[in-house]
Structure 1
Amino acid sequence: MALGPAESPGFLLWHATLRWQRDIAAALTPLGLTHVQFVLLACTWWFNTRDEQPNQLALARQAGTDVKMTSQVLRTLEGKGLIEREVDPADTRAKRLRVTDTGAELAPRAIAAVEQADARFFEPVAVDDAVALLRPLAHPES
């Protein structure tokens, strides 16, 4: 017997995801970032704070994004003056990524805005419960 929408986990997840995406977009719009721009900026910033300059492939893997799309979005972030892409001396085909001073100032503010939006969104459930549910769904191989 088919489940009705109110009992369908996939349908409920679809609606929850749409609502969460709207909340994140609303939090990032005043900062001039789309969600994917935020993720790539924040991941690059995170790498850089650990004295690492990832290449585009490493960043795409960390962010869970398509490599070609990552490259396109990085061009946009570079155009906004938030990221610099430098040729990797060890592999001239690869680009090493570094946030600019402007990007390093914006990233923590954007992370705080997203964390506030997440806190509001996940308020009805305990954070540990949300993580316990979402981790195996996000990383089934773990």
Structure 2
Amino acid sequence: MSKVLPGPTPGFLVWRLANKWRVAVDRAMAPLGLTHAQYALVASLHGMQRVGERPSQRQLADHTGLEALYVSKLARALESAGLIERTRNPRDPRAVQLALTEQGQSIARQAIAVVQELHQQLLEPLGGRDALRTRAFTDELTTLLDAPLAPSVPNDESTQGITP
């Protein structure tokens, strides 16, 4: 008797989609000299600057969902490339504020246009970026991202009998 394997789990599908997206953005950003993670910073900074914000590295980390230490590393690389400037916050000398340079703004606009085209390609099976299915999909993803998720502790002999 043959056994039917269950389909992929939602977590596996999310992981596969995230990897597919990261690889596509990495490839699309390569001609602009950016990685996907660098794009996330540059595009986020572009959007924040458009509304008059000059975020700290911590604020940018919170906005992008990247670790603060990783944002600091990426920011130093983008600063070396002449795309952003890092300055001390006059109100908090421990904080570093970030802003795009003119060159960074130009690269950001180009990169955003490229990624918008990728979005259209990715979402075409759902009817495109403005389709009802896409809005529903976005709402579902937002619900999942907003839900707290704490790793479970394995129930093995080393944790049995331990009371928090």
* Structure-1-length-normalised TM-score: 0.89
Specify the alignment match of 2:30 in structure 1.
Answer: 29
CA displacement, residues 64-98 of structure 1 (integer Å, 9 cap, x when unaligned): 11001110000000000000011111111111111
Unaligned runs of 5+ in 1: none
Specify the alignment match of 1:44 in structure 2.
Answer: 45
Distance in 2 (alpha carbons) for counterparts of 1:16 and 1:6:
15
Shift of 1:14: 2.5
Paired residues, what number?
Answer: 139
Distance in 2 (alpha carbons) for counterparts of 1:46 and 1:75:
20
Superposition RMSD in Å: 1.7
Specify the alignment match of 1:86 in structure 2.
Answer: 87
Specify the alignment match of 1:59 in structure 2.
Answer: 60
Shift of 1:58: 0.8
Unaligned runs of 5+ in 2: 127-132, 149-164
Give the structure, 1 or 2, with the largest relative contact order (CA under 8 Å, sep 6 or more). 1
CA contact (8 A) 1:56 1:96 kept: yes
- Structure with the higher fraction of residues in helix conformation: 1
Greater radius of gyration (CA):
2
Specify the alignment match of 1:116 in structure 2.
Answer: 117
Match of 1:140 among 143, 147, 154: 147
Specify the alignment match of 2:100 in structure 1.
Answer: 99
Closer, same or farther in 2 for the Cα pair 1:5/1:107, shift >3 Å?
Answer: farther
Q: Look up the equivalent residue of 1:53 and give its one-letter code.
A: R
* Structure-2-length-normalised TM-score: 0.78
